[in-house]
């Protein structure tokens, strides 16, 4: 067997083990039994992946924009344009080979988590050996934020994967500068930025690397500027032309600002989320490996690039107001854990006979504690409510769901998963009888009386109404709908309450499903989705 083959065997074996662990953690969290509702963006990512998958499966039968508009009119929780396309294309390709189900979508997502752990194993292996590198990968998968993101269909683990690949590749460029490593770094950077705008954290990496490694002569090399040219040419057009690609025009950084008070507060926020033990161990690990800054080997160069990557990400987080969400820390986790492992290795040096055993014990104990505290997803009842689309009497019914962004999204994604798409029309009350921006700002309602909002629903007609019982943030249109069904029980018949068993004597139901009496015989009226703020017009199915 060749040397390359022998080097690939540990990584391949580690990937199989990590993938199994990632799927098991998803099961432990309840992800396979719950809706896509861990975050307001989760159902949008699932529906958008189905859109891309169905467009490819349909043989590109119509223009992409017309297909997307029609799809959005059926399932108004599409994020393409607001978010870049890479994740959706990869997920769609996966779902062309496997059934487009919740399990399949989650299995693909576990693939990204396993690849991230495998890449960390690949980085750790030359320095620490297989057992510690394997334990490091498990520690990463069990890390609370990574564990949560693995069970939620979000973009942050794929971004972390591409960012880590870019960081290691830039280490190769530091070791042996040339066009090939520069092009590989540019490719990974483009993939990260076209997965989510936070991939722009890589913009500062080359400069910080030059500062740490004192390799200023690299600036004079044309290859040094190749990645920047690639990002400008490949990513620039998407963010310039795609609707809402800059997220309400706040840019990549979410309205960046330099405010020392805010930056100091942000530093302590992120330090608290990462945890003092990990930060202290990482500091010890970096200090113990300071000889790596002499760049005597490729492993040293990758180490320096990793340190530069952490510095670049922290600088990004310090000025990006939208980066205060904990999920944006995902790209930081892998390099910080590697440095923390180096710190544990350094502290274990006084135990020469038990050195490896001590390090593995610490990592295994930390991993077990994390796994025992895995965050759980709880079914909300929208899967059962969405099952109504298969009932013959509701074959042509229009559905309307009213709730907060997460609850509306859960129902829409469940309907999309439950049927051959596009089929039923699902309307969002937050878009059909009111309007607001992507994050829920600039809210206004079009109807101010029960009679007016009921007349609009009958005009469609809305045959099935799904109502969240209680909103955290009151909305006038939702309050009108609740009062409407209570005051007209003969017109709006209660079909079910979910979760099952939620009754007057038990827990408060999360949602109620109502049927408009006789809606099957009503003529179809105006059904459209408001998109004048994005496309300058409304769209119809």
Please report the pLDDT score of residue 284 as a whole number: 96
How big, in percent rounded to 5, are the helix, strand and coil portions of the chain? Answer: 65, 5, 30
Least-confidence region, from 10-19, 311-320, 399-408, 431-440: 431-440
User: In this predicted model, which residue has the larger pLDDT, 247 or 197?
Assistant: 197
Least-confidence region, from 3-7, 116-120, 256-260: 3-7
Q: Give the DSSP H/E element, type plus range, for residue 223.
A: helix 222-234
- Pick from 341, 343, 288: which is nearest to 135 by CA? 341
pTM more than 0.85:
yes
Q: What percent of the chain has pLDDT over 70?
A: 88
Q: Give the DSSP H/E element, type plus range, for residue 42.
A: helix 42-57
Q: 174 near 213, Cβ under 8 Å?
A: yes
Please report the pLDDT score of residue 5 as a whole number: 44
Q: 96 near 142, Cβ under 8 Å?
A: no
Q: Give the Cα-Cα-Cα angle 237, 239, 243 (nearest 5 degrees).
A: 110
Please report the pLDDT score of residue 145 as a whole number: 92
Sequence-distant (6+) residues with CB within 8 A of 261 are none
pLDDT at 285 over 90: yes
Q: How far apart are CA 86 and CA 418, in angstroms?
A: 25
Q: 447 near 101, Cβ under 8 Å?
A: no
Strand runs (DSSP E) across 375-506, as ranges? 398-402, 425-428, 434-435, 444-445, 462-468, 492-498
Distances (CA, A) of 244 to 79, 239, 249, 320, 342: 9, 8, 7, 18, 42
Q: How far is CA 21 from its chain centroid?
A: 19
Q: How far apart are CA 314 and CA 515, in angstroms?
A: 52
174 forms beta bridges with none
Q: 198 near 159, Cβ under 8 Å?
A: yes
pLDDT in tens, 59-114: 988 888 889 888 988 999 988 888 899 999 999 999 999 999 999 999 999 999 99
Q: Quote the tokens at residue 144.
A: 């609370």
Sequence-distant (6+) residues with CB within 8 A of 504 are none
pLDDT in tens, 296-331: 899 999 999 999 999 998 888 777 655 567 788 899
User: In this predicted model, which residue has the larger pLDDT, 278 or 502?
Assistant: 278
Please report the pLDDT score of residue 189 as a whole number: 97
Confidence band, pLDDT 50/70/90 cuts, at residue 37: very high
428 forms beta bridges with 401
Please report the pLDDT score of residue 54 as a whole number: 95
pLDDT at 245 over 80: no
Looking at residue 293, the DSSP 8-state letter turns out to be G
Please report the pLDDT score of residue 7 as a whole number: 57
Q: How far apart are CA 222 and CA 118, in angstroms?
A: 32
Please report the pLDDT score of residue 124 as a whole number: 95
- Pick from 489, 322, 349, 428: which is nearest to 77 by CA? 428
Q: How far apart are CA 193 and CA 246, in angstroms?
A: 12
Q: Quote the tokens at residue 161.
A: 């994967």
Please report the pLDDT score of residue 234 as a whole number: 96
Looking at residue 520, the DSSP 8-state letter turns out to be G
pLDDT in tens, 176-193: 999 999 999 999 999 999
Q: 157 near 149, Cβ under 8 Å?
A: yes
pLDDT in tens, 417-436: 999 998 999 999 988 888 77
């Amino acid at each position: 067997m060749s040397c390359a083959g022998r080097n690939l065997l540990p990584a391949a074996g580690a990937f199989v083990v990590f993938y199994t662990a990632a799927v098991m953690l998803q099961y432990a969290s309840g992800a396979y039994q719950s809706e896509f509702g861990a975050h307001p963006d989760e159902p949008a990512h699932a529906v958008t992946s189905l859109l891309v998958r169905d467009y490819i499966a349909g043989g590109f039968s119509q223009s992409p924009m017309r297909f997307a508009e029609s799809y959005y009119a059926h399932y108004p929780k599409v994020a393409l344009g607001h978010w870049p396309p890479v994740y959706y294309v990869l997920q769609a390709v996966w779902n062309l080979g496997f059934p487009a189900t919740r399990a399949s979508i989650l299995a693909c997502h576990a693939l990204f988590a396993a690849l991230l752990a495998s890449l960390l194993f690949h980085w750790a292996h030359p320095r620490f050996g297989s057992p510690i590198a394997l334990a490091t990968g498990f520690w990463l998968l069990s890390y609370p934020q990574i564990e949560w993101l693995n069970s939620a269909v979000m973009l942050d683990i794929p971004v972390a994967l591409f960012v880590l690949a870019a960081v290691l590749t830039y280490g190769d460029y530091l070791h042996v500068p040339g066009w090939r490593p520069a092009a590989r770094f540019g490719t990974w950077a483009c993939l990260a930025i076209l997965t989510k705008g936070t991939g722009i954290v890589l913009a500062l990496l080359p400069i910080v690397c030059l500062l740490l490694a004192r390799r200023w002569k690299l600036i004079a090399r044309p290859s040094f500027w190749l990645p920047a040219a690639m990002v400008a040419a490949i990513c620039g057009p998407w963010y310039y032309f795609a609707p809402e690609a800059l997220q309400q025009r706040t840019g990549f950084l979410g309205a960046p600002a330099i405010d020392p008070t805010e930056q100091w507060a942000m530093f302590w926020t992120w330090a608290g989320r990462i945890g003092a033990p990990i930060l202290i161990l990482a500091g010890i690990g970096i200090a113990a490996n300071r000889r790596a800054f002499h760049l005597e080997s490729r492993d040293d160069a990758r180490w320096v690039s990793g340190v530069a990557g952490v510095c670049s990400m922290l600088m990004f987080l310090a000025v990006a107001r939208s980066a205060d969400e904990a999920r944006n820390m995902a790209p930081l986790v892998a390099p910080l854990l590697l440095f923390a492992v180096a710190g544990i290795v350094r502290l274990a040096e006084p135990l020469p006979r038990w050195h490896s055993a001590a390090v593995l014990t610490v990592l295994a104990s930390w991993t077990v504690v994390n796994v025992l505290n895995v965050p759980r997803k709880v079914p909300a009842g929208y899967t059962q409510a969405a099952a109504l689309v298969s009932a013959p009497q509701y074959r042509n019914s229009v559905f309307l769901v009213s709730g907060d962004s997460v609850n509306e999204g859960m129902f829409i994604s469940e309907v999309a998963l439950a049927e051959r798409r596009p089929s039923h029309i699902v309307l969002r009350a937050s878009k059909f009888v009111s309007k607001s921006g992507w994050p829920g700002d600039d809210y206004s309602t079009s109807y101010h009386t029960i009679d007016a909002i009921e007349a609009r629903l009958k005009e469609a007609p809305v045959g099935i109404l799904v109502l969240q019982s209680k909103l955290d943030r009151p909305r006038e249109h939702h309050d009108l709908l609740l009062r409407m069904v209570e005051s007209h029980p003969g017109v709006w018949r209660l079909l079910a309450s979910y979760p099952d068993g939620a009754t007057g004597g038990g827990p408060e139901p999360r949602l109620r499903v109502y049927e408009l009496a006789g809606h099957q015989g009503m003529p179809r009226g105006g059904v459209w989705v408001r998109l004048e703020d994005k496309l300058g017009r409304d769209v119809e199915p």
